Amino acid sequence: MTSSRTGGGRREQTRQKLFVAAQQLIAEQGFSATSVDEIAERAGVAKGTVYYNFKSKNELFEELLRHGVGLLTAALREASAAHPDAPIDQLDAMIREGLAFIEQYRAFARLLLSELWRTNRAWQNTLTLLREEAVAVVRASLDAAVASGELRADLDTGLVAAAIFGMVLVVAVDWLTFQPERSLDDVHAVLSTMVRGRLAAE
> What's phi and psi for 176, nearest 5 deg?
-70, -25
Single pTM value for the model: 0.87
89 pLDDT tier (thresholds 50, 70, 90): very high
For residue 147, is pLDDT > 90? yes
**Across 111-115, average pLDDT:** 87
More confident residue, 195 or 161: 161
- Percentage of the chain beyond pLDDT 90 is 72
44 pLDDT tier (thresholds 50, 70, 90): very high
Domains of the chain, start order = 1-54 (1.10.10.60), 57-196 (1.10.357.10)
Treating both helix axes as pointing N-terminal to C-terminal, what angle do 124-147 and 157-178 enclose, rounded to 10 degrees?
120
The CB-side HSE value for 29 (13 A sphere, CA atoms) comes to: 9
More confident residue, 158 or 9: 158
Convert the pLDDT of each residue in 2-27 to its tens digit. Answer: 334 455 688 889 999 999 999 889 88
User: CA 91, CA 12: separation in Å to the nearest integer?
Assistant: 33
**Across 62-87, average pLDDT:** 94
Q: What is the pLDDT of residue 3?
A: 39
For residue 186, is pLDDT > 50? yes
CA 68, 74, 77, 78: dihedral to nearest 10 degrees?
-120
Q: What is the pLDDT of residue 74?
A: 96
> Are the C-beta atoms of residues 112 and 65 closer than 8 Å to each other?
yes
**Across 28-41, average pLDDT:** 91
For residue 78, is pLDDT > 80? yes
Least confident of 1-15, 55-69, 104-118, 132-146: 1-15
Q: What is the DSSP letter of 118?
A: -
For residue 174, is pLDDT > 90? yes
